[in-house]
Structure 1
Amino acid sequence: MPDLFSPFTLKDVTLRNRIVMSPMTMYRSPPDGTVTDFHLMLVGSRAAGGFGLVFPEQIAIQPDGRTSTACAGLWDDAQIEGLARINRLVKDMGAVPAIQLGHTGRKGSENRPWDDPRRQYPPDHPQGWPVRGPSALPYGGRFQHPVHAMSVAEIREVHAAYAAAARRAAEAGFEWLELHFAHGYLGASFFSPLANKRTDAYGGPLENRARFHLEAIDAVRAVWPERLPLTMRLGSDDLHEDGVQFEDSVTAIGWMKERGLDLADLSVGLNTDDMRAPPFKQLAFMVERGARVRRECGLPVGVSWNLGVPAEADRVIREELVDLVFIGRPALANPHWPVWAARELGHPDPFSLVPEDWAWWLRNFRASPDAIGWPPVPAPSGPAA
């Protein structure tokens, strides 16, 4: 029976445990989209802290695919080396480096979320740009600016940008690639009837709304090494009667598996603020959905959202409901969350999760383990990004 600390193998990649640091946008890049020493610190410390798979933030495939001008990208070869430097450290700390490629679509051109008021910059603002989507339909709420409906030629250009970014990701040394098609971003909006009102081959019935995803998989699979995992964070439920229903996603994931998808990372659509009874405060609320995809599609599954309680994270792995747990905010609160979780769960050697030199010092400390701050202050169990 697997547990939270069991190795997990997918394709030619083996993770030392089932704990994943989720991608979280940090707004710490310069306008050229490169990563900085901040990202090296953030990702490297979590790799040293025992996570099996670590992501930097969502990495944009094009300049207008960023959330803001302070977000990272991989649309240019000049952006490779900064990410390669991070990956070398991640591997040295015993973790597997992963990348999430995405395009924010009609949710782009934002300022930083803690700025007041939070808003979308207009296209003529120095930090703004025209936003794109499947249809000329603004998201609403704080995202009020006009949306350019993409032509078929532009869709193909975006797919080519995914492929080009995937090639650069391989060159940078990433060993796991995820496409971000959730949270109201471009892929999610093509999938959702709430955002996609097209009447051509990319709109209408489910098979058309999933076409953007399938063609993106084809484009990336053509350049991404077959031996390395290709996964997707999917907006699997819009939580709205007129949006994506989970039944749709189960069907579409089966199609994606046939095209080369290796694992489904399930999340919500977030294509509208008008959601029915949002369950965002419920513990592990995506797990049952993940178990169904795992069972019916025969595909490994990872989920996030409220899995920061070690006993719960361990339970969903032991019961073989999902294969990986994605930890977001708790990973920010506690860079050694896996070690803390191991101590909470009675692991016989929690320090085996950290690099050998750290483990030696921690195991051989003569005072009580509490004298060196173990366990750390418990991490919050709030929603994971």
Structure 2
Amino acid sequence: MSDHLFSPLSIRGTEVRNRVMVSPMCQYSCDGDGLATDWHEVHLGSRATGGAGIVMTEATAVEPRGRISPDDLGIWSDDHAEALAPIADFIAERGATPAIQLAHAGRKASKTPPWDGSVPLQPDEGGWETLAPSAVPYPFDEDEPPVTKQMTDDDIAAVKDAFVTGAERALDAGFEIAEVHAAHGYLLHEFLSPATNRREDEYGGDFEGRTRLVREIVSEVRAVWPDDKPVFVRVSATDWLPDRESWTAEETARLAPLLADAGADLIDVSAGGIHPDQQIPQTGPNYQVRYAERVAEETDALVGAVGGISEPAQADALIRNERADLAIVGREHLRDPYFALHAAEELGADEDVEWPIQYRRAVGN
């Protein structure tokens, strides 16, 4: 049988039970300390119970300044790893592959959760000075954006080290996949895009300079991650800023093989997030899949597609038609934690995914 949504995927020495991945989705539920809570255990554990092949945490900050909000998840201390360990264990017990997204929010940090308006927080309100490649704040609507500091060489070295030690802690916590977050306008994407990176040193300027930091971080994470476990990278394929100098799909296609050379096993292809003036050309089912296909043309690395994937037949077609190696499902997993189980029923793949024995008396009723 050809590859389909419920065919297993072998990446290095890791066997993933199917091609459904739970997209990293922030929960803003840490009570200000970055420690995982019961909410995270239930949220992520439910999706593992729901049949997904890979269950990935939300963007998990590698240092306190890397949180989007004070209530974001973190991995900057052993205490954070200890809080995450039972969650990774439960995901694995349910047959899914536990994954973690290592992240730094850069200039989009220090703000309130979305349900409180995503407004900037000043230091006297529990916020902090944000870091960025250049001292250009994110253009919030409010009059007072957080103070944004252009990173020094020492800051860059500290962030690189934070990604590496975050990966080491994540490994100790039991995660099998590490994803480096270089998308959605956060720190590593800010280095990639000329819309936000105005540096004139080795980390700015031309394509080589702007891509240097993400390439170095991927390489250094790969160096501490076991050879039999995968490293993913999430990228924004385009800034969706056609009327100004910005990061483009062409540059993403050029970057993809370099990320593979640095040790990335899968490129998780999203888009946008660098600036509120972005112009999304269309939305709807599969609206970002064309970017994943473009990346796949340029690299031997596996590719994950995300964006507007909500129907089982749609996700299955992505795999069967070789448009992607993983169907990365976000919001539909918020609506239905058991998306993969329902998809298996609809697609006739029940032999590949079984409902938990505790729930089987309800199946088919």
What is the CA-CA distance between 1:275 and the residue it aligns to?
1.9
3-state SS of 1:222 partner: helix
Per-residue CA distance 1:343-380 (angstroms, 9 max, x = gap): 22233547x3333x2475456xxxxx2x3xxxxxxxxx
| 2:196 paired residue number | 195
For 2:214 and 2:335, locate their aligned partners in 1 and report how far apart those are by CA, in whole Å.
33
- Distance in 2, Cα, partners of 1:23 & 1:202: 27
Aligned to 1:222: 223
Alpha-carbon offset, residue 282 of structure 1: 2.4
What runs of 5+ residues in structure 2 fail to find an aligned partner?
none
The residue type equivalent to 1:120 in the other structure is P
CA distance in 2 between counterparts of 1:150 and 1:354 reads 49
Secondary structure at 1:221 match in 2: helix
Tell me the TM-score normalized by structure 1.
0.90
Aligned-partner residue type, residue 184 of structure 1: G
The amino acid that maps onto 1:297 is T
Tell me the CA shift for residue 332 of structure 1.
Answer: 1.0
Q: Which runs of 5+ in 1 are unaligned?
A: 364-368, 372-385
What is the CA–CA distance in structure 1 between the aligned matches of 2:54 and 2:259, rounded to whole Å? Answer: 23
Aligned equivalents of 2:312 and 2:291: distance in 1?
20
2:294 is equivalent to residue 303 of structure 1: no
Q: CA offsets, 1:136-189, max 9 Å, x none? A: 111213473331000112101100000000000110010001011101000000
TM-score, with length taken from structure 2: 0.95
Q: CA offsets per residue over residues 270-322 of structure 1, 9 Å max, x none?
A: 1111123442x221022122122222211100021101121111111100110
CA contact (8 A) 1:192 1:209 kept: yes
Is the CA contact (8 Å cut-off) linking 2:183 and 2:234 kept in structure 1?
Answer: yes
| Equivalence for 1:286 | 288
Sequence identity (%): 37
Distance 2:229 2:25 in 1: 22
Query: Secondary structure of the equivalent of 1:128?
Result: coil
* C-alpha distance in 2 between matches for 1:15 and 1:311: 20
Moved more, 102-111 or 303-312: 303-312
What SS class does the counterpart of residue 114 from structure 2 fall into?
A: coil
Decide which of 309, 315, 318 is 1:316's aligned counterpart. Answer: 318
The DSSP-based 3-state class of the residue aligned with 1:167 is helix
Corresponding residue of 1:375: none
In the aligned structure 1, how far is the partner of 2:195 from the partner of 2:330? 27
The equivalent of 2:256 in structure 1 is 253
Q: Which residue of 2 aligns with 1:383?
A: none
Q: Using the alignment, how far apart are the partners of 1:114 and 1:226 within structure 2?
A: 41
1:139–1:195 contact (8 Å) kept in structure 2: no
Q: Tell me whether 1:15 sits opposite 2:16 in the alignment.
A: yes
The structural deviation recorded for 1:130 is: 0.4
Is the contact between residue 80 and residue 172 of structure 1 (CA under 8 Å) also seen in structure 2? Answer: yes
Structure 2 Cα separation of the partners of residues 32 and 277 of structure 1: 35
Tell me the residue number matched to 1:28: 29
- Find the aligned partners of 2:211 and 2:88 in 1 and give their Cα distance: 32
- Partner AA of 2:319 in structure 1: I
Given that 1:90 and 1:97 are in contact with CA atoms closer than 8 Å, whether structure 2 keeps it comes out as: yes
What secondary structure sits across from 2:170 in the alignment?
Answer: helix
8 Å contact 1:338–1:353 — kept in the other structure?
no
Q: What is the identity, as a one-letter code, of the residue corresponding to 1:213? A: V
Counterpart mapping for 1:1-385 below 5 A: 1-115=2-116, 117-122=117-122, 124-142=123-141, 144-241=145-242, 242-279=245-282, 281-349=283-351, 352-355=353-356, 357-358=357-358, 361=361, 369=364, 371=365
1:268 positional shift: 1.0
Partner Cα separation in structure 2 for residue 74 and residue 297 of structure 1: 30
- When structure 1 is superposed on structure 2, of 285-294 and 163-172 the one drifting more is 285-294
Shift of 1:20: 0.6
For 2:297 and 2:215, the matched residues in 1 are separated by: 21
Are the equivalent residues in 2 in contact too, given 1:136–1:149 (CA < 8 A)? yes
Question: Offset of 1:240 from its aligned partner?
Answer: 1.3
* Secondary structure at 1:210 match in 2: helix
Give 1:23 shift: 1.1
Provide, for residues 4-46 of structure 1, a one-character-per-residue CA deviation record: whole Å limited to 9, x for no partner: 1111110111111100111111111122211011111111111
Q: Distance in 1 between matches of 2:124 and 2:8?
A: 48
Is residue 189–residue 196 contact of structure 1 (8 Å, CA) maintained in 2?
A: yes
The one-letter amino acid of 1:198's match is R
* Equivalent residue letter for 2:348: G
Q: CA offsets per residue over residues 214-238 of structure 1, 9 Å max, x none?
A: 1111221221112110110012211
In 2, the alpha carbon distance for the partners of 1:49 and 1:219 equals 33
CA RMSD of aligned residues (A): 1.5
Query: How many aligned residue pairs are there?
Result: 360
Q: Is the 8 A contact 2:128 2:146 kept in 1?
A: no
Contact 1:49–1:353 (CA under 8 A) maintained in structure 2: no
Q: In 2, distance between residues paired with 1:297 and 1:109?
A: 36
Once residues 159 and 241 of structure 2 are traced to their aligned partners in structure 1, the CA distance between those partners, rounded to angstroms, is: 28
2:254–2:298 contact (8 Å) kept in structure 1: no
